[in-house]
Amino acid sequence: MKKIELINPFNKKKLFIKKNFLQDDNGNKFKIVNKIPRILKNSYTSNFGFQWNKFRKTQIFNKNNNINEIRFFKETKWAIKDLSNNNILEVGCGAGRFSSVVLNKSNAMLYSIDSSNAVDASKINNLKYIKNGKFKLFQADIYNLPFPNKVFDKIFCFGVLQHTPNSFKAVDCLLEKLKKGGEMVIDFYPYKNFLTKIHAKYIFRNITKHVSYEKLYKLISKNIEIVHLLYKILDKSGLHFLTRFLPICDIKNTIPKNISKKLLRKWIVLDTLDMFAPVYDNPIKISEMVNYLKKKKCEVIFSGYVKYSNMEAAVIKIKK
């Protein structure tokens, strides 16, 4: 695997390491904090840094119960051998739940970015792979990726596009970094029909996204038991449809079964915070994204819903 050089995404010049920062030939500098390069100018995703550092271990599983591994391989339809000797880009690593899968299961070189300081949580969760050189971690923006074009064999981007200002522009930026013949897998919140936005998330978000993350976290945590009780009453009464109007995540369809009560509570708070805190939440029509990718001369290998355990994801896999 050829090592991928870093570039200043704002002028395309090569970046060099200078003690605790990166610098290009023009003297532009980017800090290296906690041994992670921070190659961005600003970020609209600080809420994710807050949540993933607070819930660093919540979605990390052991070898005997690894829903992350199941989801990764079901969505990508990659075999372990397909990852070998590849340079892979992960965009939106969060706390590194899927980074761990790639790093544990293959000898691939994984370059992983997140535009928030969630990268600090991912570093702790995957430290041994940073030490052995398999894992390269950066705080960077999907619209300004610090890599040359056409250098990655594979790219995956899970749960990110709906949280960007323009998901189609974001996809353009990913495609630029993919080699000809390379494969990319994306998943996102789908827009199914007009009911998609008739939901507590979109009713309350205009207010909650302006509340400080700490206050919002405390509000959710303080009231989660009573809202969870109402959720269970509606669900057991055959009125699950009405749970969409409760300010709580869809526990039945988005959280793994058979986890401890303690972990379940943490996951509910995490996913509910994830509903209300992001600046952007724009569900995407699968058909519209497929048509857009075809216009970009991509071969669409798969598009649709992938089921894993009691959950499902809207997924598109392409070949460039």
Whole-number percent of the chain with pLDDT over 70 = 99
- Same domain (yes/no): 21, 47: yes
- Same domain (yes/no): 66, 146: yes
Please indicate, yes or no, if residue 270 is contained in any of the structural domains: yes
On the question of pLDDT at 273 being above 60, the answer is: yes
Q: Which domain holds residue 140?
A: 16-190+283-319
Mean pLDDT value of segment 237-248: 97
- Same domain (yes/no): 78, 177: yes
Per-residue pLDDT band at 64 (split at 50, 70, 90): low
Q: What is the pLDDT of residues 8-53, one digit of tens each?
A: 999 999 999 998 999 999 999 999 999 999 999 999 999 999 999 9
Per-residue pLDDT band at 65 (split at 50, 70, 90): low
Q: Which amino acid is at 9?
A: P
pLDDT of residue 1: 80
- Same domain (yes/no): 184, 200: no
- Same domain (yes/no): 24, 146: yes
Query: Virtual CA dihedral for 24, 133, 39, 96, nearest 10 degrees?
Result: 170
pLDDT of residue 61: 78
Residue the block writes with tokens 């669900």? 235
DSSP one-letter string for 71-83: HHHHHH---HHHH
Helix (H, G, I), strand (E, B) or coil at 124: helix
DSSP one-letter string for 164-197: SS-HHHHHHHHHHHEEEEEEEEEEE-B--SGGGG
pLDDT of residue 66: 87
Mean pLDDT value of segment 108-119: 98
**pTM for this structure?**
0.96
- Same domain (yes/no): 127, 95: yes
90 CB burial (10 A radius; 0-12, 13-18, 19+): buried
Per-residue pLDDT band at 63 (split at 50, 70, 90): low
Q: What is the mean pLDDT of the chain?
A: 96
- Same domain (yes/no): 297, 238: no
Mention every residue, 6+ apart, whose C-beta is less than 8 A from residue 70: 308, 309
Please indicate, yes or no, if residue 3 is contained in any of the structural domains: no
